[in-house]
Chains A and B, each alone.
Chain A
Amino acid sequence: MSSPNAKRVLLVDDNPLFLKIISHAFTKSGFEIASCASASEAIDYLNLNIPDAILSDYEMPEMNGIEFRKVLMNHADFKDIPFVFLSYITDKDLMAEGLDLAAVDYVVKETPVNVIVSKIGNLIDTVQKQRELSVLEIKKAALALNIRTVPKVAPAVEGYDVDFWHQAYQDVPGGDFIDFIEVDERYSYIVLGDVMGKKWVAWFFTFSFLSYIRAAIRFGIMNGDFSTAEILQKVNSVICYDDALKDILSTMSLIMIDKQEKVVSYSGAGDLPALHYHAETGAMEQVDSSGLLLGLFPDGGYTEERITLKPGDQLYIFTDGLIDYEDNGEKKSDYNLFKSKLSNMIAEGLNFKQIRQNLLQNLSPSLVDDCSIINIHKH
């Protein structure tokens, strides 16, 4: 029986008997095995699944092992999967060619099956350890440079309780970013965004985004312009014209609290609508904004919603990981379901700390995204 953490190996061989024997040996040792009778079948499989290692025969009709390896090498998602050649041939030139193609190893088919199994098991363990180490190194470096995409603590904003919760996917920093900017005694800004795309790349770009946003807010204030819509438009223009950020898109929810006028302004860029809880009526209102994702078009069409929070009212902004859930093993997203869950928790008298715990407990076990939520509670 294979467990959810079982190592996944793709076997490619045109010999059905050999496939059967070796599949049996791997399965017996707890591996999850996919077997394909040809390289093209294997490529179809890879388009839907990424195994931990590939064990491929050399001699196959149509596409042989070397050609198969060459195809994988040209594919960003496949080239780093540990690849091992299997063959009856003990041809030194062939082995050299295979190793030139960054095949991790070479196994002669006469090797006892249990030795092949433990060899592949060790290989996967080594690669995984290396990966964990690299992640650890980057985390250490980021920590040393004191760069973070999520602050340690929420700010103290007079008249309001501001709090947040952030859960990184597999504890690896991802695309979500949060920032609190205290401008002066009158204005506070709250930023929540999600850079769409690959984990580490997204994480890297969030720093550029945060710098732009901070700069745009500061420049705006220097010119007496505090509008959240204007700030989003400025950030968007910079991103749209910056070649380095050409293919990067991001959502953003931007909130400004005006403590003097007791008004909250909200502008969104392709974000999920904010939620406003009315303490008096117990109603949960969806607050829509009309702006497009940052980096999509030079004119993002940003608008500004002015929200008056009465005593006890709450405002929530959040990223899309939170609206995901699992139903009979099928993943789904449902904004309205999250809205009613949140509404019920508030109705039951839960405070944000308790809501946070509740959300954490109910996170989908197959969560593949960051989750972030910010709560603004009027005293």
Chain B
Amino acid sequence: MITVSNEGPKFVIADVTITEANLSNSDQFKAELVSLLDQHKKIIILDLQELKYVDSAFLGALVSALKYAISLKLDIVLVGLRNDIRDLIKLIRLDKVFKIYNYAEEAQFAVNKF
């Protein structure tokens, strides 16, 4: 459910290919994200533009993958969020823990300056 579409010296751009992220696929989503971090040892720019719906189990998986990234001194950056998902993330204050950009290009530019 995650495919790598681009890679730079500091980052990997990973596209999420599912449209609905919930309890039934959140464990696998986390496992794929963790293995990407292990494999590449780079900041992950996660493109969520295909995603139309998320539930709390998915957000939990995303946050626990972020905790893992931080433990490796890496990061997970979110791009391509639909307005309603971005609103939900803001409502529960996850915008304080994830760096969020509109587009992958914007995130790449920012990541290169980290």
On A, residues with C-beta under 8 Å from B are 47-48, 50, 75-77, 175, 194, 196-199, 247, 249, 251, 270-273, 290-293, 296-297, 301, 319-320, 324, 330-336, 368-369
Contacts and interface: CB of A to CB of B under 8 A. Distances in A.
Contacts of B22: 368-369
A334 B84 contact: yes
Interface stretch (B6-14, B49-57, B106-114): B49-57
Interface of B: 1, 18, 20, 22-28, 52-57, 59-61, 63-64, 67, 84-85, 87-88, 91-94, 96-97
Contacts of A272: 91-92
A197 B26 contact: yes
Interface of A is mostly: loop
A375 B83 CA distance: 29
A320 B59 CA distance: 11
Contacts, number: 86
Given A198-B23, A368-B55, A335 B93 contact: no
A211 B90 CA distance: 29
Contacts of A319: 56
A291 B93 contact: yes
Considering the complex of A and B, which 4 residue pairs feature the smallest CB-CB distances, nearest first?
A: A196-B60, A331-B53, A270-B92, A196-B56
Interface of B is mostly: helix
Contacts of B85: 333
A293 to B, nearest CB: 7
A331 B88 CA distance: 14
A247 B1 contact: no
A213 to B, nearest CB: 19
A198 B84 contact: no
Given A77-B28, A292-B96, A369-B23, A175 B56 contact: yes
A75 B23 CA distance: 16
Nearest to B64: A247
Contact of A48 (B18, B52, B60, B87): B18
B32 to A, nearest CB: 9
Nearest to A47: B1
29 contacts: A47-B1, A47-B28, A48-B18, A48-B25, A75-B28, A196-B60, A197-B26, A199-B23, A247-B64, A249-B60, A270-B93, A270-B94, A273-B91, A291-B93, A292-B96, A293-B63, A293-B93, A293-B94, A301-B96, A320-B88, A330-B52, A332-B53, A333-B84, A334-B84, A335-B88, A368-B22, A368-B24, A369-B55, A369-B57
A48 B27 CA distance: 13
A331 B24 contact: no
Contacts of B97: 292, 296-297
Contacts of B61: 196-197
A76 B23 contact: no
Contacts of A77: 27-28
Given A251-B92, A273-B91, A334-B84, A76 B60 contact: no
A320 B52 contact: no
A198 B27 contact: yes
Contact of A369 (B28, B52, B56): B56
Contacts of B52: 330-332
Contact of B53 (A196, A197, A333, A336): A333
Most B CB contacts (10 A, CB to CB) among A76, A194, A249 go to A249
A368 B23 CA distance: 8
A174 to B, nearest CB: 9
Given A270-B92, A331-B20, A320 B55 contact: yes
Given A47-B28, A48-B18, A331-B53, A293 B92 contact: yes
A277 to B, nearest CB: 18
A333 B88 contact: yes
Contacts of A247: 64
A7 B104 CA distance: 41
Contacts of B96: 292, 301
A197 B57 contact: yes
